[in-house]
Amino acid sequence: MRLIISEKANTAKKIAQFLSEGTVREGKHRSVPHHTFTWKGEETVSVGLKGHVLNPEYPEEYSNWQKVEPRELIDAEILKSVSEKGVAQAVTSLSKKADRVVIATDFDREGELIGVEALSLVFEANPKLMDHVERARFSALTPGEVGRAFDELMEVSNDLADAGEARQDIDLIWGATLTRWVSRATKRYGSAFLSVGRVQSPTLVLIADRERERRAFLPEPYWELEVDLRNGEPFTVRHQTDRFKEEARARNAYENVADTATVVDVQQKSATRKPPAPFNTTAFLTAAANIGISPSRAARIAEDLYTDGYISYPRTDNTVYPRSLDLREVLGYLGGVEGVGQHAERLLSQDNLSPTRGKKETTDHPPIYPTGYASKESMRDDRWKIYQLVVRRFLATLSGPAKTLRTTLRFDSGGEPLVTGGTVLTEEGWLGVYPYSRRADEEIPNLSEGDVVEVIGKEILSKETQPPGRYGAGRLINVMEDLGLGTKATRPNIIQNLYDRGYVHDDPLVPTEKGMAVAQALTDFASEIASHEMTAELERSMDEISEGRISKASVVDSSRDVLRRVYDHLQDSETEFADIVWEGIRTDETIGKCPESSHDLIIRRNRKSRKRFVGCTGYPDCHVTYPLPQRGEIIPLGTQCDACGSPEIKVLGGKRPWVTCINMDCPKKQEQREAAEKAKEGGEGSSTRSAQELQKSTT
């Protein structure tokens, strides 16, 4: 009997369906399904894991955070414990009956490691299988791709698995050691612990450094001159001097503008916008973030779409379609997809298909492309958005360029040069199917040189230069890739961890004061983990492991040496480190000023119930308190309610963040409650709308 082991249950089922030469018999080992069928005349069983079946962990004697010296974790033995006992038992039981095994997990470092972990269980149950192992590598769960992979079986790559295990072990050693040290130094345990990570921490420092730039930024004033003209319809132009650094010069230009303006020059310039390159993981996650789906969410959805057979493997660096990919076959099943079918059919009718090529070409996986037909009715909204994004990107890469026309009009009014311009799309090309990159047409009047138009208004706008923008999640993914922070598979989770630990909120990412303080303390006293250089060097070392040029043990041991130096630096500065972090924590917990005593209002917890509330630091002389929501991260906004003057907070949690003042007796809240009661009692539609409007005004 041949045993096929894949990464997930639905993958195992699809493989059985694709390879079977007859009926697939469904079975279970306890609660774990498996599928029996005939392939190439041999009985075959396909079973799926639930990701990693083994997890790295420290022995039990290291489990007490407060009693165990964190430094001991650097050289402590790392054990592998079974994480999914039911799955492990199913693999063990089936292995005893097998005479050969095929690993069909995802083809990347983590997938190879998952497969090798499963083999350790297989060999323990049936040592004879050690010489009868093969590997199936595929990039899409389609009959053709899976069939090809099983016709071209190869060997398992222990080097690739070692690279995945090296990252796993190093992340455990660094994360556990430094997280425990920081939590112990700041006395933050349980759910309040402060996490530190080899990739997480330099990413947090990037965000905090940008925030410091913003806070240190000194705005400079400048002035703009806008003039309203009329040629039938009114339109606005600006002074050719985009920014006046001196208000007097702007005022002088304002006074000079006459009652009419004469067109002195008309310029038109056509441009071509080339279609985008095929999606690799980074480009896909960036595009998903631009349509409002976070990297971590987009990665999970893409993984589900892959295992359901709708898109190809979503973790890839490749931006060049391989010659083996049948582009016409893909277009064939996209012809019925809602919203893009006509575009697919039009491409299919062309004699030649010439896809775009990106700068990165690899041989492990193709770029992300659609592998199956789906309808909008068959999917949740967010899954449909991601499927459509992948489909439209694929079609865009096969489409022609878009063409635009830029028209610039220059005027003279009282000796002052005025200018306006607009760009319109003259040929849709790829933008006809990929609207995410489309810009609205900028229409301007059809004027010729020498035409005179009326000046109907003018205005000086006083403005200031703006600080550098914060990182959006999509932009941060790109920066992390450029700096070698994390991998295409881990970056979304790293960003999500920063949210989960309360280090950042919103998108673009805004660091909390706790996040700022942890970043500052690490920069001051553990510069190796605060900098991207060390992490990027380790990533390069793991690449060398996967290529068989260096051993896993040597890389892990080298990382331990670096960690010892980091730990020694931290030990010498424990008090200073804790002081910096606690200053940030206290700032986050300060909601505002007490209206009665002018002391700080801070977040407190009831000693018995552990429920949180806002209390005055002037207690026991001042007894002012306010209730708080018991779930979600609380972010002080430093603003006051316009209805009652109480401090406002943002609550992170649930489907979306919401903003409220802490005063339950606020007139705005009272109106909201009354409107809600009327709506509940069956009032007219206007009452419901009123309640909804009041809700919006307080969120």
Residues marked active site are found at 313
Q: What sign does the dihedral 530-534-536-541 (CA atoms) show?
A: negative
Burial of 450 (0-12, 13-18, 19+ CB in 10 A): exposed
Least Cα distance to 281 among 487, 138, 544, 104 occurs for 487
CA distances from 212 to 207, 467, 470 (A): 9, 10, 11
How far apart are the C-alpha atoms of 492 and 473, rounded to whole Å?
9
Instruction: Give me the amino acid identity at 193.
Output: F
The tokens for 17 are 């369906």
Strand ranges (E), 473-544? 504-505, 510-511
Q: What are phi and psi of 288, to 5 degrees?
A: -65, -40
Burial of 610 (0-12, 13-18, 19+ CB in 10 A): exposed
Measured distance between the N- and C-terminal CA atoms of the chain, rounded to whole angstroms: 61
Q: What is the CA radius of gyration of the chain?
A: 31
Cβ proximity of 411 and 261 under 8 Å: yes
CA distances from 449 to 107, 407, 688 (A): 63, 13, 57
The tokens for 286 are 């960036």
Residue at token pair 């002074």: 239
- Residues 662, 667, 669, 670, Cα dihedral to 10°: 130
Cβ proximity of 44 and 99 under 8 Å: no
